[in-house]
Amino acid sequence: MQAPQDLFEQATRARERAYSPYSKFQVGVAVRAKTGTIITGCNVENASYGLTICAERVALSHAVSQGILEFTQMVIVTDTDPPTPPCGACRQFIYEFASNLEIWTCNLRGTHRHFHLSEILPEAFGPATLNKARESKS
Ligand code: THU
């Protein structure tokens, strides 16, 4: 299933802005808010390596800083074959805001993979888990 063209184009452009002098691995993301607004992100590395932030988390944090908390679709662009899936930390981060987000991973040659977050993060821990824990105590 082809990724939405507008998200693909914006993620591809964001990828070009990746700050990845250490890994040289560029990742671009575009996410669509429920309102229709598109927000982008790229990976931002750091000389201390462990402080590196993935493009998915940059995009969602960028959106949250604009007051946007609800999302419908995400496109991730890398230059790999097959396209790169989001890392485990990013899956968890996405789950916080969109428990079944529709995701495409794409490469520059037009190969697209499509899935929903629940397929790649089953039995997830999230806000509802904490609410249930609170309810069972009261
Ligand atoms: N990276 C992402 O941006 N998203 C992922 O889901 C996987 C990894 C980045 C982090 C780092 O800058 C580079 O790719 C190599 O791991």
pLDDT in tens, 41-97: 999 999 999 999 999 999 999 999 999 999 999 999 999 999 999 999 999 999 999
CB burial string 45-78: b at 16+ within 10 A, e below: beeeeeeebbbbbbbbebbeeeebeebebbbbbb
CA within 13 Å, CB half, 114: 8
Question: Ligand 1 in contact with 54 (CB < 6 A)?
Answer: yes
The residue from 9, 56, 102, 135 that is catalytic is 56
- Which protein residue has the closest C-alpha to ligand 1 atom 6? 86
Q: Which atom of ligand 1 is nearest to the CA of 22?
A: 12
Contact 98, 117 (CB under 8 A): yes
Q: Is the pLDDT of residue 130 over 80?
A: yes
The CA distance from 7 to 38, in Å, is 7
56 catalytic per annotation: yes
